[in-house]
Amino acid sequence: MDCLPDLAVITTHIYASLRKKADLFCAINIDSATDFKVINGVETERLLRTVDVLPCANIRFEFPPLESFESLSDVSQLCGLIDHKDTIVITGYSEAGPWGNSCTHWEMGARGEFTTEGCMVDGLHQVL
């Protein structure tokens, strides 16, 4: 793409074209819905709407067992073991790709389809 001197102009033109087509489809959809309501009545539209209920995800986030307070009373012996100025801390990791994060990427690679659980975990990772 570095060979295209006017890449921004090209992508802006493509985006504007797609946005125009999407706006047209949206206007046609609104017009069709209005025609349907006028011809058949508002109640008929409500009867034709179907609600597909997907099964709930089978995910459980259980809390790890906590140590008793007495078992943590002897942590004073750990003072001074680590020099915090020279310690590297890794706080998290991330994978973003065409199939989402590592959970959904694994599902597409292993099974070729998404599961409810994988999509729920993907959504939780995005929230966290």
| pLDDT single digits (tens) 32-86 | 988 888 888 877 777 777 767 676 667 777 777 888 878 777 777 777 788 888 8
User: Phi and psi for 108 in degrees, rounded to 5?
Assistant: -70, -35
pLDDT tens per residue across span 101-111:
777 777 777 88
Number of H helices and E strands in the chain, helices first, is 4, 0
Give the residue from 104, 108, 128 showing the smallest Cα distance to 117.
Answer: 104
Is the entire prediction scored with pTM above 0.75?
Answer: no
Q: Please state the separation of Cα 100 from the chain's center in Å.
A: 7
How far, in Å, CA of 51 to CA of 42, rounded? 18
| Percent of the chain that is helix, strand, coil (3-state, to 5) | 55, 0, 40
How far, in Å, CA of 59 to CA of 116, rounded? 9
